[in-house]
Amino acid sequence: MRFDLTIPDPSMMRIGKEVYVLLAAGTELHRIHPSVYKAEQFNPTAAGDARFSPIQDVGGAIIPTIYAAQTFECAACEIILRCPDTLRIDPKTGLPTFQIVFPADFKAYGHSIVKTMAELSLVDLTNAGQRKIGVNQNALLAGPRSTYPATRAWAERIHATCPKAQGIYYSSAQFGPDFATVLFGDRVPAGVLDPVSSRSVADAACHSEIRSLANSLSIEYEDL
């Protein structure tokens, strides 16, 4: 049976039907991010090609964003140990090969923890939350990289039509049911994200934790 993933145009969003998740003050969030940014610092640039960033406001200005997750494991899977769109097939066995991730690709990244100092209001983009606004089949999270322009357009539509939204909330496609968030830097006041700790992804302890997680997911995390 053929399965077609269809992402409707953002103009079809059921405005007013969105649901908000209130992230409580005191919530700790984990980030895996380029070390050029501080733990609490939003990315204000147009660089990157992620599912929900970079994005622009209705005037064309870049909306600074932060990706953050419920747990270290979720953050690591969202950024480092991501599922590839397709796995290479071993010509001898006809089976998918093991995924390999190279630590050297992330040597300039860090793991940070921040704590929310105030409640944050986030638009729910879990499967149920997507259905409420007119998106079925978890389409904003289930698609490959080729769908990213469409999913970014939905993030922009949410920002434009939901003025109280300080970001979006979703169940991680990489390590669900843990949640992940994208926070809008123009809606989160300064001081709301309090840095708790930071370390380099290349530090021995962090490297070991990622390698252990990768092993549990049948991923090779080695520079071969």
Write out the chain's pLDDT in tens, 224 residues.
345 688 999 999 999 999 999 999 999 999 999 999 999 999 999 998 999 999 999 999 999 999 999 999 999 999 999 987 676 777 878 777 778 999 999 999 999 999 999 999 999 999 999 999 999 999 999 999 999 999 999 999 999 999 999 999 999 989 999 999 999 999 999 999 999 999 999 999 999 999 999 999 999 998 85
Q: What's the total number of domains in the chain?
A: 1
Per-residue pLDDT at 4: 65
Name the nearest CA neighbour of 125 among 1, 4, 7: 7
Residue 68 CA to residue 66 CA, distance in Å, equals: 6
What's the pTM value of the predicted model, to 2 decimals? 0.92
Q: Is residue 42 part of a domain?
A: yes
In a domain, 93, yes or no: no
Q: Tokens 């953002």 label which residue?
A: 10
- The residue type found at 80 is I
Distances in Å between the alpha carbon of 63 and those of 94, 97, 131, 183, 189?
Answer: 45, 38, 25, 10, 14
Residue 76 lies in a domain: yes
From the number of C-beta atoms within 10 Å of its C-beta (0-12, 13-18, 19+), residue 216 rates as: exposed
3-state secondary structure of 200: strand
Flag whether 95 is in a domain.
no
Residue 27 counted as domain residue: yes
Query: What is the CATH number for 64?
Result: 3.90.175
Q: Is 96 a member of any domain?
A: no
**Would the CA dihedral through 137, 143, 149, 151 be positive or negative?**
positive
pLDDT at res. 99? 86
User: Is residue 141 one of the residues assigned to a domain?
Assistant: yes
Cβ–Cβ under 8 Å, residues 31 and 75: yes
Alpha helices in the chain, H assignment, sequence order: 72-79, 127-132, 139-142, 148-161, 204-216
- Assess if residue 214 is contained within a domain: no
Alpha-carbon Rg for the chain in angstroms: 18
The C-alpha atoms of residue 199 and residue 94 are separated, in whole angstroms, by: 41
Q: Which domain holds residue 66?
A: 18-83+110-201
